[in-house]
Amino acid sequence: MRRHRNVKIVATLGPASSDYDTIRALHEAGADVFRLNMSHGIHDEIREKHRIIRQIEKDLDSPIAILADLQGPKLRVGVFANGEEELEPGASFRLDLDKTEGDATRVNLPHPEIFAALEPGASLLVNDGKIRLKVTECGPDFADCDVVIGGTISNRKGVNVPDVLLPLAALSEKDREDLEFVCQLGVDWLALSFVQRAEDVEEARALCAGRAAILSKIEKPSAVTGFNAILAASDGIMVARGDLGVELPVQNVPPIQKRLVRQCRAAAKPVIVATQMLESMIESPMPTRAEVSDVATAIYEGADAIMLSAESAAGDYPVEAVTTMDNVAREVENDPTYREVIEASRRASRTTVADGIVAAAREIAETTDIKAICCFTQSGTTALLTARERPRVPIIGLTNLRGTARRLALSWGVNPVMTGELDRFKMAVINAARAARMQGYADALDQIVVTAGVPFNVPGTTNILRVAPCQESLIYSTDPG
């Protein structure tokens, strides 16, 4: 399904978007990737959503990426005898391993690893940062705190520890079960929550065993500090601004977002900007002007994808939210300033033959009347390198591997198309010309750029570029071999 924009849209599925008709409407409105949130829903529900997506993919002959988002090691307080308590600023409050129901002076925090890592002066944030505690004294089974910012604390509210690198396992037992379940289902991307270090990614990759690409969510200060190593270990990145904005001052988030997006672009790895993009559309058919500007900013920065969470999962207007994102994306990408910004932020990093090939493809496409760049790819790397160049013409990613086509649905500007297995470059050119015509990117008299690797079907061998006509008789006449 051809999109008239380059940035991709990720839509989270949930109670408001769980049936065939709604999910299909979301895809037709512009959703390229569907996110399955493993924090919510039982396996049977996840399996049914996966089945529906694959049926829609088959019905529309349109590769769709599925992203399974693991819950991660979520830290929560225990329960209170009264269900909730009011903490006043300046009061003392204790967190401990005692499983007794809490009151206004203490509550259980069933995470000994936190107490082992805490030091006096550390901050603890409760309920998405609405309550701030400062540790005054701590031991292996308790932390005495002063209430810096008070508020209502209730059962099982989340706890963030921004100042400390916690000795937590990257994957909880639930995460490991969920990982195996979704890999057996056949998801394309696996998102890791609360990544702290590159070793967290490597652990998940070992369990995944090549069955899905790994996407790291950046939502902790330690992940920002160690971002270079995390990026190198990951296949993609999500700038998850929710917890990131809790654990860091909110004013720090925009420059971090811009910096991480640029680093991902330079590394030719897809990056999603997520959280609260169209938050008001959970209840309203119209977004705020500030939300529209936020979405536009991520697009101007060159993000590969922008994401909807509760807006499409539990909101009253899921299809309208996707449509709004699609409309904003088209308008931004048609703005002459958009091209100026994108091209000014392009960072050359060309050390291989493939780097040179894709850079040449972009330059040829932009200096002559070329309608599309067609990349033959096994692993997806050639298409990702081409997307890094952010060319002005569409990118058609041709592959005979369904999994590669689906994963490329997340990447900026790449229109994945399935093709048969090839053994000669001339047939690659013919298939590229057919795909460009059938997808509506070019007519018979137009020209395209074709990149491929010889020998065929060997990942990482991109070494050839050709400018070719879209008319097959011309291809045969100019290349009798």
- Contact yes or no for 11/312 (Cβ under 8 A): yes
Q: How far apart are CA 370 and CA 373, in angstroms?
A: 8
Same-domain pairing of 69 and 88:
no
Q: Are residues 320 and 184 in the same domain?
A: yes
In 109-188 the beta strands, taken as DSSP E runs, fall at 123-126, 131-139, 142-149, 151-154, 159-160
The answer to whether residues 378 and 404 touch, using CB atoms and an 8 Å cutoff, is yes
Q: Which residues contact 464 (CB under 8 A, 6 or more apart)?
A: 357, 425, 451, 452, 453, 454
347 inside domain = no
Per-residue pLDDT band for 423 (boundaries 50, 70, 90) equals confident
| 424 assigned to active site | no
Same domain, 197 and 102: no
Q: Is residue 258 part of a domain?
A: yes
| Cα end-to-end distance, the chain, whole Å | 33
Beta strands of 220-260 (E only): which ranges? 236-240
Catalytic: 339? no
Mark whether 99 and 183 lie in a shared domain: no
Whether 217 sits among the annotated catalytic residues: the reply is: yes
Q: Is residue 92 located within the same domain as residue 195?
A: no
Residues 224 and 180 both lie in one domain? yes
Point out the catalytic residue in the list 49, 106, 217, 371. Answer: 217
Residue 44 has pLDDT above 50, yes or no: yes
Question: Dihedrals φ, ψ of 419, to 5°?
Answer: -140, 165
Options 3, 24, 54, 76, the catalytic residue: 76
Same domain, 155 and 179: no
Q: What tens digit of pLDDT does each residue of 251-278 get?
A: 999 999 999 999 999 999 999 999 999 9
3-state per-residue secondary structure call for 326-386: HHHHHHHHCCHHHHHHHHHCCCCCCCCHHHHHHHHHHHHHHHCCEEEEEEECCCCHHHHHH
Asked if pLDDT for residue 481 goes beyond 60, the answer is no
Q: Residue 120: its pLDDT value, please?
A: 96
> Residue 106 pairs with which residues in a beta bridge?
94
Please tell me the least confidently modeled range out of 87-101, 310-324, 346-360, 435-449.
346-360
Residues, the chain, total? Answer: 481
Choice among 93-97, 419-423, 465-469 with the minimum mean pLDDT: 419-423
pLDDT at position 458 over 80 = no
275 is a catalytic site residue: yes
Does one domain contain both 18 and 112?
A: no
Calculate the CA dihedral of residues 3, 4, 9, 11 and round it to 10 degrees: -60
Q: Whole-angstrom Cα distance, residue 270 to residue 113?
A: 33
Instruction: Identify the DSSP state of 80.
Output: B
Residue 33 host element (H or E)? strand 33-37
* Residue 425: CB atoms within 10 Å: 18
Joined tokens for residue 348:
């050359």
Angstrom distances, CA of residue 335 to CA of 273, 343, 409: 21, 13, 24
State whether 312 and 180 are in the same domain: yes
Rounded mean pLDDT, 68-75: 92
pLDDT digits (tens, 9 = 90+) for 283-338: 999 999 999 999 999 999 999 999 999 999 999 999 999 999 999 999 999 999 99
Choosing from 275, 382, 399, 419, the catalytic residue is 275
| pLDDT at 454 (0 to 100) | 79
Would you call 34 helix, strand, or coil by DSSP?
A: strand
Give me the catalytic one of 5, 8, 35, 437: 35
Q: For residues 123 and 248, state if they share a domain.
A: no
Per the structure, the complete domain to which residue 323 belongs is given by 8-73+170-332
Q: How many domains does the chain have?
A: 3
User: CATH number, domain at 40?
Assistant: 3.20.20.60
Q: State pLDDT tens for residues 238-250.
A: 999 998 999 899 9
